[in-house]
Amino acid sequence: MRPFGKCLLIVLLVIFQPVYGAATQKADAVLVIKGDKRLYLMSKGEPFASLPVTFGGQPEGHKQQRGDQRTPEGNYILDYKNVNSRFYRSIHISYPNFQDRQNAIELGVSPGGDIMIHGQTNGWEWAASVVQLFSWTDGCIALSNKDMDRVWEAVDAGTPIEIWP
């Protein structure tokens, strides 16, 4: 290849690398700080993305039982991805853990479950800028669809999630 051809190839690769060659940065952990309404994608203990989120109708406090509209607090695993959700993409949080189940037994209640990180309700994407201003889930962690795409690409099943008050 002639020098001009090599230079042109290098220039084109540099120009189009962000579109075609960039690998999505992978998170080795996710941190959610409920009081800040933020989800952080983490790599080696440092955040590389900070995304706005919303929670259930009773966002303060740890989830105690089914229907309390609280988001759990503590350490969990993002254990599987669901593309067939009634929300735009969802990633399951491994709530309830052993301690959550023990607490529910002591209270004589069901701990609930099916807690997810997800985008907007299917068909309501157009309302995300307004909906995200309110605590509207049943205890899940909700993002805009654009932000959910970012989380979806960065997180693999098995990634730990820590949820702080």
Domain of 68: which CATH number? 2.40.440.10
**Which tokens go with 105?**
């037994």
Which H or E element spans position 41?
Answer: strand 38-43
pTM (predicted TM-score): 0.82
Domain total in the chain: 1
Domain coverage including residue 81: 25-164
Mean pLDDT across the chain? 87
Q: Is residue 7 part of a domain?
A: no
CA–CA separation, 75 and 13 (whole Å): 42
Which H or E element spans position 160?
Answer: strand 159-164
Q: Is residue 13 part of a domain?
A: no
CA–CA separation, 95 and 111 (whole Å): 9
Q: Is residue 154 part of a domain?
A: yes
Q: Is residue 14 part of a domain?
A: no
Q: Is residue 18 part of a domain?
A: no
Q: Is residue 90 part of a domain?
A: yes
Task: Give pLDDT tens digits for 26-77.
Answer: 999 999 999 999 999 999 999 999 999 999 888 889 999 999 999 999 999 9
Q: Is residue 140 part of a domain?
A: yes
Q: Is residue 12 part of a domain?
A: no
**Which tokens go with 12?**
């084109």
3 preceded by a cis bond (ω within 30 of 0): no
